Structure 1
Amino acid sequence: MEKGLNILSWAEEDRPREKLLLKGRSVLSDAELIAILIGSGSSELSAVDLSKKILQSVNHDLNSLARLSVKDLTQFKGIGEAKAISIVSALELGRRRKATEPAKRIKIQSSKDAYESIASELLDLPTEQFWVIMLNRSNHIIHKRNISQGGVSGTVADPKLIFKKALDDLASGIILVHNHPSGNLQPSHADRQLTKKIVEAGKLLEIPVLDHIIFADNGYYSFADEGEL
């Protein structure tokens, strides 16, 4: 059955914006994605139908569409300068993304790798900070998250906050890191107790704590290397 020209008369799940929200961006056609960009059509065509007409003019080739100028696009009835600029801008972003080399993720294979990966964040700090290195299943770094900042002699790390951030990042494993500005590499009783608490929470959530690094400018202490996890 032929849909009407007015998108608002369509079933909600068939409207491009609603369809994207309900089913995800991958199910939308090229015409539906362009329709979202332009927002509305003309008095004769819906936004989707107008987008189909534009795509037909370039034989549905997005590379050819990307070569059209604002002036070229405004030749279509219903496409003013603002809509043309939206299309050109979106396609330019796509071109830039394609041209950008994906950043190489660092893989953590040892406590030394973990120490070196966080060194730029923790070197020469006068106060304690607590960080978590978020890892994927291959032990590549997803993110490095600063959990808390403290004074010269201590900082507090809330396990609930740690695992909230880990869940947000879809981390498969985490490495805890905090620095000792004094240079003392030995863990305190509080360090050991906190590590034990976070390790147990990680087991329940199936996000294992792979190590806890005590960082100092002159070296580090690894709970994993010392068999304390």
Structure 2
Amino acid sequence: MLKEEVCNYGIDNVGISGLVAVILDCNIPDKTMSILLGKNLRELAEMTPEELMALPGIGRAKAIRLAAAFELARRLANTMPEDRPSIRSPENAAVLVMGEMRHLDREHFWALLLNTKNRVIAREVISIGTLNSSAVHPRELFKAAIRRSAAAVILVHNHPSGDPTPSQQDIEVTKRMVEAGNIVGINVLDHLVIGDNQFVSLKAQGLM
């Protein structure tokens, strides 16, 4: 019935429960479906295959299938169109991440990787931390940048509190990244701290 509905009305007209059912081949016990739909979309996307397999009616194959679907969605979100405008200001960079980052409940440290024309090549998740910190090492940042042949990077991380005021640790991390970038020949152009629909540019504040 569900597959016929998708064929007749299109995948974009099917609700979350229908999409999950289609991915899992529709044979899911009502109890398990209730558990899955009791979570919001982000919680569902963050479930590991092991957590999914613990639910009745979901074996290894179905768990991996659902996890793979969410991983594809994450990679699509990280893919920047070829015609992405050049980053000319902190506002240009902030608009690319604000919509998603402002709602994260843990600190995420991301990097916007740029080519020689300051066009965004990709967005990389460098680390995911706790409510008030995100440990990050230059090695992880520049490994991603070198792999993508980036000429420059813009650092971005969020404050789940909603207050984008940079901490002393934020300033120290930025300086360490700038120094490492100078060594490997990849410029760190800015570091944005994202709050609730507001941000601070460390470069604009003269903190880097």
Q: Normalising TM by the smaller chain, what interval? A: 0.5 to 0.7
Divergent runs of 4+, >4 A: none
Per the TM alignment, residue 103 of structure 1 is displaced from its structure 2 partner at its CA by 3.6
Partner of 2:159: 180
Question: What residue identity is the alignment partner of 1:225?
Answer: A
**Counterpart in the other structure of 2:38:** none
- Verify: 1:135 aligned to 2:114, yes or no: yes
Q: Deviation of residue 228 (structure 1)?
A: 1.7
Paired with 2:82 and 2:141, the residues of 1 have a C-alpha distance of 25
Name the amino acid aligned to 1:220.
F
Structure 1 gaps, min length 5: 1-101
Residue 135 of structure 2 is aligned to residue 144 of structure 1: no
1:202 corresponds in structure 2 to 181
Which amino acid in structure 2 is aligned with residue 198 of structure 1? M
Q: TM-score scaled by structure 1? A: 0.54
- Runs of 5+ unmatched residues, structure 2: 1-80
Q: Displacement, 1:104?
A: 1.4
Aligned pairs, number? 128
| Amino acid in the other structure paired with 1:121 | E
State the structure with more CA Rg. Answer: 1
CA–CA separation in structure 1 for the residues paired with 2:123 and 2:138: 16
The C-alpha deviation readout for 1:148-202, integer Å capped at 9, x for no partner, is 1111111111110100100001000000000001012211111111111000010
Query: TM-score, normalization: structure 2?
Result: 0.59
Following superposition, the deviation at residue 225 of structure 1 comes to 0.7
Are 2:170 and 1:212 equivalent residues in the alignment? no
Name the structure 2 match of 1:13.
Answer: none
The root-mean-square deviation of aligned C-alpha atoms, in Å, is 1.2
Whether 1:155 and 2:130 are equivalent positions in the alignment is no
Take 1:218 and 1:196, find their aligned partners in 2: how far apart are those partners?
25
1: CA distance between counterparts of 2:157 and 2:181? 18
